[in-house]
């Protein structure tokens, strides 16, 4: 009941983000059901069916990543003193928030995917939809209930688990060493009257790790991915894997290299964002560059990783366009749906993280305005941050994409 009240009482912008999560879940669930339909219609071709199921992993990962970002920005996940007083502390509030922002939205999306799939099969209307073909609908085969429920529960369970892990309460570092009294509900001791010894209502869910620690690992994965691609292209001893749409069949090693380069770009995002903020503050910076650089350094753990994932998706899209065979038929509807899901979820995750960062620095922005800082200066700092990130990440993305496609062009 509390989860439903939190859902109904949210603002329109919050409800829109939840609906976008439901739409992404519906698209991913539909792709999973289409993989099941292909397996039912072609029981002898298990390799192709497993490959279709494997191609559902990128949309699933993008959907879960987006759901976690939306849950982090949801106002229902913030601790409330009144709820803590009645026993709904940070841990229980995390469970309620995961149920509110993630489970309900993804379950709604899975239900919509099932209705659409049944409608196209003709199970609801009696007339199957044949314009897209019956290759992935399996209209002549009954739909197994256990397999359908299992596939449709993948997105809600995965997204809810990831959200619960991301929203787990953290104990402030050094709280016991500083003499902070423990929670009286856990050991039965009475609360201390001193204000300095009272336990905090909840630890902030900010990422305290240094963003520069992932930068060497990111560049290592980038180099390893490019090396694996080059070796696989020259060896040509592995079995080629058929890519979706009209792409050329590629060895397994090249696909492994692409995955490594994508992970490398995602890991380099926070470190490069932090370094970009430092570069903006070099050589006697003014107030504008100093403000923009400080904000980038503070927001690097929050927006760096989504920015790196967007760069990985853009790099993959560039490689796909470069390797597309013009003589092959155009992309099918399922390939187009998967590409739209991955691209849309990654971009939406980046925008949601930017909104989260804006809300996190709302107090600082208000303080600057009260001190007399012009609003044009704040807008100029935001524009400078965007231009600096584009100047750093755009060339890197194009360079990685070009290097990743060279082994297949040779």
pLDDT value at residue 194? 44
Q: For residue 313, what are its two tokens?
A: 């998706």
Longest dimension (CA), the chain: 78
Residue pair 96/3 in contact (Cβ under 8 Å)? The answer is: yes
d(CA 99, CA 101): 6
The pairing of strands 240-241 and 250-251 is antiparallel
**Mean per-residue pLDDT, 86-92:** 59
Residue pair 91/169 in contact (Cβ under 8 Å)? The answer is: yes
pLDDT exceeds cutoff 60 at 273: yes
Cross-strand pairs, 324: 247
- 281 backbone φψ class: left, alpha, beta (φ>0; ψ -120 to 50): alpha
pLDDT value at residue 243? 58
pLDDT-based confidence at 254, cuts 50/70/90? confident
pLDDT-based confidence at 344, cuts 50/70/90? very high
pLDDT exceeds cutoff 80 at 190: no
pLDDT-based confidence at 348, cuts 50/70/90? very high
Q: For residue 269, what are its two tokens?
A: 């995002």
**Mean per-residue pLDDT, 396-404:** 87
State pLDDT tens for residues 287-339: 888 888 898 898 888 898 999 999 999 988 887 777 665 555 566 788 888 88
State pLDDT tens for residues 368-380: 888 888 888 888 8
Residue pair 273/293 in contact (Cβ under 8 Å)? The answer is: no
pLDDT value at residue 201? 39
d(CA 332, CA 401): 24
Cross-strand pairs, 240: 251
pLDDT-based confidence at 361, cuts 50/70/90? confident
Cross-strand pairs, 251: 240
Helix (H) / strand (E) containing 251: strand 250-251
pLDDT value at residue 272? 93
φ/ψ of residue 107, rounded to 5: -65, -40
HEC assignment per residue over 272-296: HHHHHHHHHCCCCCCHHHHHHHHHH
Q: Is the pTM of the predicted complex or chain greater than 0.85? A: no
């Amino acid at each position: 009941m509390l989860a439903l009240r939190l859902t109904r009482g949210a603002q329109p912008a919050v409800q829109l983000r939840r609906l976008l999560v439901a739409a992404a879940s519906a698209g991913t669930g539909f792709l999973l059901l289409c993989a099941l339909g292909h397996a039912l219609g072609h029981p002898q071709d298990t390799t192709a069916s497993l490959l279709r199921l494997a191609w559902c992993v990128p949309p699933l990962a993008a959907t879960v990543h987006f759901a976690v970002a939306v849950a982090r920005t949801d106002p229902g996940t913030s601790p409330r003193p009144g709820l803590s007083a009645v026993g709904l502390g940070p841990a229980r509030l995390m469970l309620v928030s995961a149920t509110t922002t993630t489970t309900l939205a993804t379950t709604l999306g899975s239900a919509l995917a099932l209705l659409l799939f049944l409608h196209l099969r003709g199970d609801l209307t009696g007339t199957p939809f044949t314009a897209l073909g019956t290759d992935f609908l399996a209209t002549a085969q009954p739909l197994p209930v256990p397999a359908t429920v299992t596939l449709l529960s993948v997105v809600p369970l995965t997204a809810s688990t990831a959200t619960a892990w991301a929203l787990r309460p953290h104990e402030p570092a050094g709280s016991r060493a500083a003499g902070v009294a423990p929670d009286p509900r856990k050991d039965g001791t009475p609360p201390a009257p001193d204000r300095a010894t009272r336990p905090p209502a909840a630890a902030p869910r900010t990422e305290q790790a240094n963003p520069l620690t992932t930068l060497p690992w990111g560049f290592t994965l980038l180099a390893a991915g490019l090396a694996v691609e080059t070796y696989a292209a020259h060896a040509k001893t592995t079995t080629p894997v058929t890519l979706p749409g009209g792409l050329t069949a590629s060895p397994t090693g090249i696909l492994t290299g692409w995955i490594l380069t994508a992970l490398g770009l995602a890991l380099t995002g926070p470190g490069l964002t932090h370094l970009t903020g430092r570069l903006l503050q070099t050589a006697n910076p003014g107030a504008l560059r100093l403000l923009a650089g400080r904000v980038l350094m503070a927001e690097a753990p929050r927006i760096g990783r989504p920015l790196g994932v967007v760069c990985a998706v853009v790099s993959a899209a560039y490689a796909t366009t470069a390797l597309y065979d013009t003589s092959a038929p155009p992309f099918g509807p399922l390939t187009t749906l998967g590409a739209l899901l991955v691209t849309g979820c990654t971009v939406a995750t980046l925008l949601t993280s930017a909104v989260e960062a804006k809300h996190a620095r709302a107090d600082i922005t208000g303080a600057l305005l009260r001190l007399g800082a012009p609003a044009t200066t704040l807008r100029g700092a935001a524009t400078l941050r965007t231009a600096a990130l584009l100047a750093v990440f755009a060339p890197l993305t194009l360079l990685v994409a070009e290097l990743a496609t060279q082994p297949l062009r040779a």
